[in-house]
């Protein structure tokens, strides 16, 4: 058993961490948020060219570092520490994950583009009525034409490609008859309504009206098992991001509790605050443990159960640590002025992303607790 990073993984973490500390400070980030585009293309170029992190999980044959899920975990935690807006999760983890899984000519064509920063992929799977259920798909692909509506597609406005689930047969919630497509984001018949999320990224409602889809665009037919695996990998990467977010929330709150004086002493001298900070610390540590556990089980039979355990635990931690970071900061924690409030927002959105705590507890029950 070994929970240590390799030398290469440590270097990846350190170089990204250094870059973000130097260039991605809170004020620069907020400036990008205020500009209202939901990302900064220059940062993406730097990720590709200066840092080379976009190649982390790809094979050497595709120009990558030969890494995988652990590399994604390393990167995502650092991105979480700086509440980075740019689309590593959707492009590299999800889009790249799908391409790695299907392989072949399309992977050979597009993965080098991802690594170079030119190909960006948005994940259009969830639907307005579908809540967190990936099998709830009413978007249809019939006779080469795609029709439907996908909800809250993050980073669609800056994507070159959309990764789309569509029903080729069966009823709305059947687990069979769902295809996974990769189509150009500017294909005729695609319209979007773009908006910002409360976290500052962009997202869109994406509508398909008779979009022509050829065989070359179909990554996989009857693809739900593949989609679930891709989303499990993404969920673990999101947990890693959460770990970064929560570590910063805890560190900033601890710092504040040592500095802020009331009743003639630091509020961190009060036992009620001490115990709260200890409880937050325990939540963070367990979130980190569960994220590592699930990352290392992604290729095992226990994948789905392990991922749902991790997300349930991380979701609870995100709520507890986020709420108490604000509570201990007091009023200043609810303002736009301090970073802590913005980390709290990110932690809050992570709670429900790829499924709420309840959703993952139910999934875990269904997978493991047959009566």
Partner 1 sequence: MDLNFSAADVAFREEVRAFIRDSYPAWLHEKIDEGEEMAKEDFLAWHKILHQKGWIAPAWPVEYGGTGWTATQRYIWSEETARADCVRLMPFGLSMVGPVIYTFGTPEQKAKFLPRILSGEDWWCQGYSEPGSGSDLASLRTRAERFTGEDGKEYYRVNGQKTWTTMAQHADWGFFLVRTDPTAKMQEGISFLLIDMKTPGITVRPIITLGGEHEVNEVWLEDVIVPVENRVFHENKGWTCAKFLLAHERTGIAGVAASKRNVERIKQVARQTQDGADSLLANPFFKRKVAELEVDLAALEYTELRTLAGESAGKGPGPESSLLKIKGTEIQQRLTELALEAAGTYGAPYFRSMGEGDNSFAVGPDSARRVAPVYFNMRKTSIYGGSNEIQRNIIAKMVLGL
- To the nearest whole angstrom, how small is the minimum distance from the Cβ of residue 196 to partner 1? 5
Half-sphere exposure of 272 (CA within 13 A, CB side): 4
175 binds partner 1 (CB under 8 A): no
Which residue, 297 or 360, has its beta carbon nearer to partner 1? 360
Beta 140-142 vs 121-124: how paired, if at all? unpaired
Residues 30-49 binding partner 1 (CB under 8 A) are 36-38
Binding test (CB under 8 A) with partner 1, winner from 123, 126, 256, 320: 126
Contact status: 18 vs partner 1 (CB under 8 A): no
Residue whose CB is less far from partner 1, 134 or 218: 134
How far is it, in rounded angstroms, from Cα 258 to Cα 99?
48
> At its nearest, how many Å lie between partner 1 and the CB of residue 266?
12
Q: What are the Cα distances from residue 362, in Å, to 2, 31, 301, 304, 355?
A: 30, 40, 18, 12, 10
Q: What are the CA-CA distances from residue 171 to residues 137, 163, 165, 175, 177 (Å)?
A: 9, 21, 14, 9, 8
In the complex with partner 1, which residue's Cβ is closer, 12 or 267? 267
The total of other beta-carbon atoms located within 10 Å of residue 108's CB is: 12
Q: Which residue number, 74 or 305, has a Cβ lying nearer to partner 1?
A: 305
Pick the binder of partner 1 from 74, 203, 306, 314 (CB under 8 A).
203
Query: Is residue 275 at the binding interface for partner 1, with CB under 8 A as the rule?
Result: no
Query: Which residues are registered as beta bridge partners of 149?
Result: 207
Regarding 129 and contact with partner 1 (CB under 8 A), the answer is yes
228 binds partner 1 per the rule CB under 8 A: no
- Mark residues 133-152: x for contact with partner 1 by CB under 8 A, - for none: x--x--------------xx
Cα dihedral value 24, 26, 32, 37, nearest 10: 100
d(CA 247, CA 284): 7
Shortest separation between residue 334's beta carbon and partner 1, angstroms: 5
Q: CA-CA distances (angstroms) from residue 224 to 145, 151, 154, 175, 220?
A: 20, 18, 20, 7, 9
Q: How far apart are CA 221 and CA 276, in angstroms?
A: 50
Q: Which is nearer to partner 1, 13 or 319 (CB)?
A: 319
Site for partner 1, residues 324 to 343, rule: CB under 8 A: 326-327, 330-331, 333-337, 341-342
Does residue 176 touch partner 1 according to CB under 8 A?
no
| Beta strands at 265-266 and 261-262: parallel, antiparallel or unpaired | antiparallel
DSSP SS3 for 113: helix
Task: Determine contact, residues 13/74, Cβ cutoff 8 Å.
Answer: yes
Contact between 89 and partner 1 per CB under 8 A: no
What does the binding site for partner 1 look like in residue numbers (CB under 8 A)? 36-38, 126, 128-133, 136, 151-152, 157, 173, 193-199, 202-203, 205, 261-263, 267, 270, 272-273, 319, 323, 326-327, 330-331, 333-337, 341-342, 344-345, 348-349, 352-353, 356, 358, 361-362
């Amino acid at each position: 058993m070994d929970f240590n990073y390799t030398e290469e993984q440590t270097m990846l973490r350190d170089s990204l961490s250094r870059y973000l500390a130097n260039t991605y400070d809170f004020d620069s980030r907020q400036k990008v948020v205020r500009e209202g585009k939901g990302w900064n293309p220059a940062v993406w170029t730097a990720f590709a060219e200066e840092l080379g992190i976009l190649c982390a999980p790809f094979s050497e044959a595709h120009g990558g570092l030969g890494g995988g899920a652990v590399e994604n975990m390393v990167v995502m935690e650092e991105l979480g520490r700086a509440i980075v807006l740019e689309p590593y999760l959707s492009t590299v983890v999800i889009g790249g994950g799908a391409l790695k899984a299907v392989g072949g000519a399309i992977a050979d064509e597009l993965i080098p583009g991802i690594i170079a920063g030119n190909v960006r992929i948005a994940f259009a799977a969830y639907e307005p009525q579908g809540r967190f259920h990936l099998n709830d798909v009413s978007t249809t692909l019939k006779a080469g034409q795609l029709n439907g509506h996908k909800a809250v597609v993050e980073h669609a406005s800056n994507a070159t490609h959309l990764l789309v689930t569509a029903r080729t047969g069966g009823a709305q919630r059947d687990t069979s008859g769902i295809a996974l497509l990769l189509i150009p984001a500017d294909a005729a018949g695609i319209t979007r309504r773009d908006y910002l999320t409360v976290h500052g990224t962009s997202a869109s409602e994406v509508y398909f009206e008779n979009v022509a889809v050829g065989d070359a665009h179909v990554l996989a037919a009857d693809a739900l098992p593949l989609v679930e695996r891709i989303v499990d990998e993404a969920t673990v990467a999101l947990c890693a991001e959460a770990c970064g977010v929560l570590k910063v929330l805890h560190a900033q709150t601890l710092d504040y509790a040592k500095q802020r004086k009331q009743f003639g002493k630091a509020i961190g001298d009060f036992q009620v605050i001490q115990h709260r900070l200890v409880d937050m610390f325990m939540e963070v540590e367990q979130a980190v443990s569960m994220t590592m556990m699930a990352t290392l089980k992604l290729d095992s039979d226990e994948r789905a159960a392990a991922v749902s355990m991790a997300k349930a635990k991380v979701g609870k931690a995100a709520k507890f640590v986020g709420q108490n970071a604000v509570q201990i900061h007091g009023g200043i924690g609810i303002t736009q002025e301090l970073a802590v409030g913005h980390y709290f927002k990110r932690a809050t959105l992570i709670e429900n992303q790829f499924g709420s705590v309840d959703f993952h507890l139910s999934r875990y029950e269904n997978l493991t607790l047959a009566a």
